[in-house]
């Protein structure tokens, strides 16, 4: 089922997602990739809700604006695990 494929901006707190594709302009795409946000990488959504999201990649935390989050296509692989 394709329900699990969505832009990162639609993910909720506690989701673990896998990056499928980055569908942005050259500049944004390259910047994200340089930060380690590349295809196949797992992201944990730590914070979201209208404004920018906070995600973790490995041991790094990033805040991403909505504009960018819309361009990162992800697959949800774990739902809403409670983050303490």
Q: Nearest approach, Cβ of 41 to another protein (angstroms)?
A: 9
Spatial distance between the Cα atoms of 58 and 42, rounded to a whole number of angstroms: 8
74 binding another protein? (CB under 8 A): no
> Helix H segments across the chain?
26-34, 66-69
65 binding another protein? (CB under 8 A): yes
Sign of the CA dihedral with 61 first, then 63, 66, and 67 last: negative
7 binding another protein? (CB under 8 A): no
Q: Which residues bind another protein (CB under 8 A)?
A: 22, 24, 26-36, 38-39, 46-52, 54, 57-68, 83-84
């Amino acid at each position: 089922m394709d329900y699990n494929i969505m832009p990162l901006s639609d993910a909720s707190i506690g989701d673990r997602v896998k990056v499928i594709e980055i569908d942005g302009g050259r500049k944004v795409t390259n910047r994200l990739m340089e930060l380690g946000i590349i295809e196949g990488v797992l992201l944990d959504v730590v914070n979201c809700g209208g404004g920018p999201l906070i995600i973790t990649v490995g041991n790094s935390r990033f805040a991403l604006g909505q504009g960018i989050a819309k361009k990162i296509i992800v697959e949800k692989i774990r739902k809403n695990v409670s983050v303490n």
